Structure 1
Amino acid sequence: MQLKKIAQAFLALVLTVSAHAETVRVGNVVWNKSASGSIDEFRNLTYDNRAGGMVFIRPSSNNQRAKESSTNVAIDDRFLVSVQDGHYTSSAVCAGAVQLSAVSTGIHINDLSADPVLVTVQPRQVLYFMISTDSDYRPILQQVDANTARSLLQNTYRQGHQISRVDVSNCPEPVIAPPPVYTPPPQVNNPPPVREEVPTLRLDIHFDHDKHNIKPEFKGEIVKAAQFLAKYPGMDAIIEGHTDSNGTDQYNIGLSQRRANTVREALIRDHGVNPSRLRAVGYGESRPIANNATPEGRYTNRRVMVVIPPQ
Structure 2
Amino acid sequence: MSHTATAAVETSDGPRPAIQLHTVRSIDAPLPELIRYVADAGYQGVEFAGAFLDADPRAVERALTETDVVPVAAHVDLSRLEDDLEPIVDRCRIVGCDRVIVPHLGSHLFRTTATVDALASRLDGFAERLDSHGIELGYHTSREPFLPPLDRFGLGTVSSIPLPAFVWKSVADAADRWLLRGNRQLDRTAFSQLAYQTDTMTFEIDVGWVAAGGYDPVEAIESLGDRLSLVHLADVRQTRVFPPAFRSVPPGEGLIDPDEILAAVDRSNADWVIFEDDDPDDPEAAIWKGIATLCGRPV
- TM-score by length of structure 1 reads 0.22
Task: Please identify which structure carries the higher helix content.
Answer: 2
Q: In terms of Rg, which structure is larger?
A: 1
Would you tell me which structure has more strand in proportion to its own residues? 1
Q: What's the TM-score, normalizing by structure 2?
A: 0.23
